[in-house]
Chains A and B, each alone.
Chain A
Amino acid sequence: MEFRLNEIQQIVQDTAREIATKEITKYVDEIEKTHSVPEALMKTIADAGIPGIPFAEAYGGVDAGYIAMSCAYEEIAKVCPSVSVSLLVCISFLEAVKNYGNEEQIKKYVPAGIRGEFRGSLAFTEPGTGSDPKQITTTAKKEGEYYILNGTKRFITNAAYSGPILLFARDSETQSITAFVFDKLGEGYSTSTPWDVVGMRGSAIYDVFLDNVKVHESGILGKPGEGFPVLLGTVAHSKVALCATFVGTMATSYALAVKYAKEKMHRDKPISKFPSIQLKIAQIAAKLESARLLTRKLSEESDDHSRIEHMKAWVGMVKAFVSDVAVETNLLAMNVLGAYGVTEEYKVERFLRDALIAPHIEGVSDLQRVIAGSYILGSDDALV
């Protein structure tokens, strides 16, 4: 049992921290205002090797594992959680291709994705469903070697950027769900304007409209009609990445609260001397550290794809927990800063807004708990 990072994980963390504190920090205001992460910044992140962290060296990756990947997300999110979200969707797309694609698909997408040549997307959610695949209405009708896709996808990250998308649709004939990979922005593909949202404003989400989009059958990820396991496996990985991202929001709010508590004077004493402040700081610290440790344990599980079934249950439980404590800790940090906490200048408000979306995206928290609970009660594997 080892709670310390190994040498490679430490190198990954140092690299991500340097990029975040020296480079990403320059762009934060622009990202928040324009609702987009600049190409130049994504290129810098790719040049540092960050998208390649969990992938094999044969594809241009670092092969450093998911704990290292989580460390990188956390460091990036400490400065700008929106960048982490834009990036994790790109990487989750690549993970899906690596885990469920054939060699040709892997060679086509993974090395180029690691080099940062495109921004991948994942598209499952629709206006009528967020967590229930049985409600998918987007259709795929087979015509010769092609499928014709029609429907609307909702809240899709990176949807307006060029690059591939992993999209789930219902086969018109068999009524089963198939996973398709194809390039965005082609004929019949269009997006809405970005949704106005409370947090993660820099990582814009769009609706995607599919109007007779033609996808060659070679674009099927996995087998026709077997998209459901691809979906669950893919979102299991992206949830780990989200957990690490929300740990990043907590870490920064925690640091800001500690700094403020030491500097803010009341009756000639720093407020850090007051028990009411000490109590909040201790609560934040305990929640942050427990969320981080759970995320790292989950990251370790992610390294072994053969344990994906087990991991799917774990990830629901952890994601729900981390989401809740992310909101709680960021709010506690805001409390420590008092009225200054709600001002933009003191930054905690941005991290709280970003954390607010945690329990509501990539599976709402209650449903995640239901999934984990039913797994625990329905199997001999008790998770803990």
Chain B
Amino acid sequence: MNMLVCIKQVPDTTEIRIDPVTNTLIRAGVPSIVNPFDAYALEIAARMKDEAGGRIVVLSMGPPQAEKALRECLSVGGDKAYLLSDRVFGGSDTLATSYILSQAIKTIEIGEGRFDVIFCGKQAIDGDTAQVGPEIAEHLDYPQVTYVVRAALEDNELTVRREVEEGYEVLAVQRPCVITVTKTPFDPRYASIKSRIAASRAEISLLTSREVSLDVTRAGLKGSPTKVKKTFTPPARKNGLIIREGTYSASAKKLFDMLFTPNAGQAR
């Protein structure tokens, strides 16, 4: 199996602070990590490599500092890393990002061979759009499965377990395909001292707009139809009210009274 895992370096917090003037994320002072869902995606790929063999290429689009995140990935299963970095890519929304990534994947495939599976985290914890993975699949015209928690090669058939609201779906997927991964029932592996040392010495290949064949009008701010009008932290909701009377009908009556009697809730 030839696998590619797309990863993003994100601030290490789920409580992103937003600059109220510029409406952008305040990253200063916040340490960076590999997006947790991407780490789960890499772990699924690494487990497949452990079981069935193969190779894992890791790709990230971001500033030069994202090299650190790529090295972390190399220490936990990645075999080769590519950093996609260019000023032209700055300000890309999900459409532009997924376009650039899909074009980069085609470029990387020239040297690395066709990827059987392209893994992505279901979403990045800083933007939370969950759009880039599916859009890569659309750009490449590949089948896609989202919210995957397990993947295995059984009799040369790729079988995935997908989380849905009612439970799980188990699907067989044609290759090549794009798989987005949600929180897995297992934790990503720890890097060992030796794997970290090897990763620190590994060469990271840099890809810019010169190496990747793309239409620059579809990249960066210019290529991004999304215009962010406002970003804000929603006010915290108050605790809900639980109605638990002695019987269901008494609870229903209480709810009815509260809905249709002014101030009944406060009187409670």
Q: Footprint of B on A, CB under 8 Å?
A: 7-8, 11-12, 14-15, 18-19, 22-23, 44, 47-50, 52-53, 62, 64
List the B residue with the shortest CB-CB distance to A23. B190
B190 & A62 in contact (Cβ 8 Å cutoff): no
- Whole-angstrom CA separation of A149 from B222 in the bound complex: 83
List the B residue with the shortest CB-CB distance to A7. B200
Excluding A15-B193, A62-B194, 10 further A-B contacts by CB distance (< 8 Å) are A11-B196, A12-B193, A18-B191, A23-B190, A44-B190, A47-B190, A50-B193, A52-B193, A53-B193, A62-B193
Pick from A11, A23, A44: contact of B193, CB under 8 Å: A11
- Whole-angstrom CA separation of A12 from B194 in the bound complex: 9
Residue B192, interface by CB 8 Å? yes
Chain A residues, Cβ within 8 Å of B197 = 8, 11, 62
Chain B residues, Cβ within 8 Å of A64 = 193
B200 & A48 in contact (Cβ 8 Å cutoff): no
B8-47: which have CB < 8 Å to A?
none
List the B residue with the shortest CB-CB distance to A60. B194
Chain A residues, Cβ within 8 Å of B196 = 11, 14-15
- Whole-angstrom CA separation of A8 from B197 in the bound complex: 7
- Whole-angstrom CA separation of A163 from B96 in the bound complex: 59
- A selection of 30 A-B contacts at a CB cut-off of 8 Å is A7-B200, A8-B197, A11-B193, A11-B197, A14-B196, A15-B190, A15-B191, A15-B192, A15-B193, A15-B196, A18-B190, A18-B191, A19-B190, A22-B190, A23-B190, A44-B190, A47-B190, A47-B192, A48-B191, A48-B192, A48-B193, A49-B192, A49-B193, A49-B194, A50-B193, A52-B193, A53-B193, A62-B193, A62-B194, A62-B197
- Whole-angstrom CA separation of A28 from B200 in the bound complex: 31
Chain B residues, Cβ within 8 Å of A48 = 190-193
- Whole-angstrom CA separation of A22 from B190 in the bound complex: 10
The 8 closest A-B pairs by CB, nearest first: A49-B193, A49-B192, A11-B196, A15-B193, A48-B192, A62-B193, A49-B194, A12-B193
List the B residue with the shortest CB-CB distance to A46. B192
B40-94: which have CB < 8 Å to A?
none
Chain A: minimal CB distance from B47 (Å): 15
- Whole-angstrom CA separation of A266 from B88 in the bound complex: 54
Interface centre among A12, A15, A44, A53 (most CB of B within 10 A): A15
Chain B residues, Cβ within 8 Å of A22 = 190
Binary contact track B152-193/A, C-beta < 8 Å → 1, others 0: 000000000000000000000000000000000000001111
Chain A residues, Cβ within 8 Å of B194 = 49, 62
- Whole-angstrom CA separation of A52 from B191 in the bound complex: 15
Chain B: minimal CB distance from A305 (Å): 22
A11 & B192 in contact (Cβ 8 Å cutoff): no
Chain A residues, Cβ within 8 Å of B190 = 15, 18-19, 22-23, 44, 47-48
